[in-house]
Every structure is written in structure tokens, then in C-alpha cells.
């Protein structure tokens, strides 16, 4: 029996870069000591991944592959595979992402790197997602690595901030061009300019990033819909060893079902469509489903002096039945979240 797709990529990269996991562990051990410190939501900055990959590749190739390597290094710790309920999956595909990206929600990723399955996709089988902290600039990024049906791993980079998805992509492209020119890769910069000028690259990345963002926002904002009330994903706690504190990585993959209850409720609502109607202003209003969307809200004190205590929340509002008999509300699930120490 063959290993799951993301595991196959992990096995392949370990063969490609011998002793790479030992090097990663050493860099993690130097965090805030021999090396600069970085936020707990980042497993390893890409600068660390670049230092490892450049031992085996030319600097040009290492620069393009370091992001993939770092993402897989982070995924190796927990090896979580997220499988959405099929009806919820379809609804999320149709949910628009408008306005500024709700970046604060993304820092609630349950694991340093997640792998989300994308069944039925024409070109992808799934994608990895993780957060990057640029050790040189302090910039925060969302890194998406798409697992194509051809077996390639393609990156999409979003610079996080108070701006739209399109702006996040534009900023990443501008930085890519700047780095190519800075490192005297003029031909690659020229080819990137041609691709951007044609518009197809931006359009493609915007489309795939929007879909991926919907899945990630759901995972981050609806913790009770991931796994079960008794067991859910999370990063491992460090353990004390003779050589100091250490994080032990997963030996096998874990598959997390996402949105099982919401999916069941969606099916109950959809099955009622077309079975009821009502008279409104002298006409019959056909039963239908109002489009799903995201609803953002703030919690905490409104006192300006306590602004640091306010938190932004996000709730996915599923397709709403109109003139359809409603099922019962979904019960709430509360799962305690342990504070990360490392």
C-alpha cells in the first residue's frame, strides 16, 4: 500500500537532501540563542530552509526550492491531512473572499503546516499551507504549496497585511522581481515580467489562492468542526530529554475530517429545496439557497484604552435556505486549546 501523497513528497525530499531533518532540529534548537528568535506560529523561517537546501543545490535553485522544503519540514512534525465533507467543500468553493484578508484568523492554524485535500480538482490533489516569518524584514506571509496531479509542487505566496488578496499577490510578485534583480538573475526577472504582463499568472494564482484561503479560514475559525470533540489537531508539546527540550515528530499521517456536522445539515436543507413555496406580494417565491459568505465581528471591551483586548472573529455562514423547512441548529463544541511553549 503506497503512502498518502503528502507523505510521498516528504519521503522524496528526505532522499534529496540527506540529513536535512537533523539540520532542521539543530536550527530549531538554536532559536533565540545562536540564531535570531522568531514567533511561535512559525516552525522555521525560510532563511533556515535556504541554508540547508543550498548545501545541495545552486543558489538559484535553492532560492526557488527553499519554500517547499521549509513547508514540508513543518508538515513533518504533525503530518495532518484535512478532508472536508464533500457538500461543505463545494459550498466553500463558491464562497467569495471580499475585502481585506482577515489575517489575524490565519494565526490560528491548528498545526505549523496543514495539508488540505482538494478532490475533483483538474490540476491539484491538495495543498500545503504554512506561515512564514521573514527573518530579515519581519514580514509575515502565507505560503501555499499546491500538490499537482503531475506530482509537482507549485508555490503561491501571499504577503499578509491589511489589504486584499489581489494586493497580497502583487506584493509577493514585486518582492520576487526585486530579489531576482538583486541577485543578478536578470533573465528570470524578464520571464516573470512577461508572465505578469500577460495577466494569466495573476489570474490563475488569484483563483487558486481564493479557494485555498476559504478552506484555511474555515479550519482556523471553526475549530469545533475539525476532528471530534475528544480529539483534534495540534502541535506537539516539547519533551525534556538528556539533550534538552525536544519536539518529537509524528511517525505516520493523521486524517482529520472537517465539517461533518455542517455537511449533514447542508444536505438536509438542500433535500428540502423545491418542496415548499410561499405567497409573497401575490407571487410564489421558489425555495432556494442564499449564497454562503463570511461574517466578521469584534469581541471584547469597546473602551479605547483597552483596545489591545479586542479580538477579531470570523464565522462562515453557510448557504441559507429561503422558504425551506429548517433543521435544528448545530450544537456548539468547545475544545480547550493549550498554549504553545515552543
Place of cell 485535500: 117
Residues 121-176: tens digit of each pLDDT = 778 999 999 999 999 999 999 999 999 999 999 999 999 998 999 999 989 988 88
pLDDT in tens, 64-75: 999 999 999 999
Please report where in the chains the cell 423547512 appears, as a residue.
325
Q: Using 50, 70 and 90 to split pLDDT, how confident is the model at 190?
A: low
> What is the predicted pLDDT for the residue at 247?
87
Q: Name which residue leads in pLDDT, 156 or 284.
A: 156
Looking at residue 201, what is its pLDDT? 75
pLDDT in tens, 233-280: 999 998 888 767 788 899 999 999 999 988 888 888 777 654 544 444
Least trusted range by pLDDT, from 80-89, 171-180, 276-285: 276-285
Domain segments of the chain as ranges: 5-254
Residue 102's pLDDT band, with cuts at 50, 70 and 90, is confident
pLDDT tens figures, 36-58 = 999 999 999 999 999 999 999 99
pLDDT value, residue 267: 85
In angstroms, the CA 291 to CA 271 distance is 16
Sheet containing strand 140-148, strands side by side: 153-159, 140-148, 124-133, 113-117, 80-84, 254-258
Find all residues with CB under 8 Å of 136, minimum gap 6, and list them.
47
* Mean pLDDT computed over every residue of the chain: 83
Amino acid at each position: 500500500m503506497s503512502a498518502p501523497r503528502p507523505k510521498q513528497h516528504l519521503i522524496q525530499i528526505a532522499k534529496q537532501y540527506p540529513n536535512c531533518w537533523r539540520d532542521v532540529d539543530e536550527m530549531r534548537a538554536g532559536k533565540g540563542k545562536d540564531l535570531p528568535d522568531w514567533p511561535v506560529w512559525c516552525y522555521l523561517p525560510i532563511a533556515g530552509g535556504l541554508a540547508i537546501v543550498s548545501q545541495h543545490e545552486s543558489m538559484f535553485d535553492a532560492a526557488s526550492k527553499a519554500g517547499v522544503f521549509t513547508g514540508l519540514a513543518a508538515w513533518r512534525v504533525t503530518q495532518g491531512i484535512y478532508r472536508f465533507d464533500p457538500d461543505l467543500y463545494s459550498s466553500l468553493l463558491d464562497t467569495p473572499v471580499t475585502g481585506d484578508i482577515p489575517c489575524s484568523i490565519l494565526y490560528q492554524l491548528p498545526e505549523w503546516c496543514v495539508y488540505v485535500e482538494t478532490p475533483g480538482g483538474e490540476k491539484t490533489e491538495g495543498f500545503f499551507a504554512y506561515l512564514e516569518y521573514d527573518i530579515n524584514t519581519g514580514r509575515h506571509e502565507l505560503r501555499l504549496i499546491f500538490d499537482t496531479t503531475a506530482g509537482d509542487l507549485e508555490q503561491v505566496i501571499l504577503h499578509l497585511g491589511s489589504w486584499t488578496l489581489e494586493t497580497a499577490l502583487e506584493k509577493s510578485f514585486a518582492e520576487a522581481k526585486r530579489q531576482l534583480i538583486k541577485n543578478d538573475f536578470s533573465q528570470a526577472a524578464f520571464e516573470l515580467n512577461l508572465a505578469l504582463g500577460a495577466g494569466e499568472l495573476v489570474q490563475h494564482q488569484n483563483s487558486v489562492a481564493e479557494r485555498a484561503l476559504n478552506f484555511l479560514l474555515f479550519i482556523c475559525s471553526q475549530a469545533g468542526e475539525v476532528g471530534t470533540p475528544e480529539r483534534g489537531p495540534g502541535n506537539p508539546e516539547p519533551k525534556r530529554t538528556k539533550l534538552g527540550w525536544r519536539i518529537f515528530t509524528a511517525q505516520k499521517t493523521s486524517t482529520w475530517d472537517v465539517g461533518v456536522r455542517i455537511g449533514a445539515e447542508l444536505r438536509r436543507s438542500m433535500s428540502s429545496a423545491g418542496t415548499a413555496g410561499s405567497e409573497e406580494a401575490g407571487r410564489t417565491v421558489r425555495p432556494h439557497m442564499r449564497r454562503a459568505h463570511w461574517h466578521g465581528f469584534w469581541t471584547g471591551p469597546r473602551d479605547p484604552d483597552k483596545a489591545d483586548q479586542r479580538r477579531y472573529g470570523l464565522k462562515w455562514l453557510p448557504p441559507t435556505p429561503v422558504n425551506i423547512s429548517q433543521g435544528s441548529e448545530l450544537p456548539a463544541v468547545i475544545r480547550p486549546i493549550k498554549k504553545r511553549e515552543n
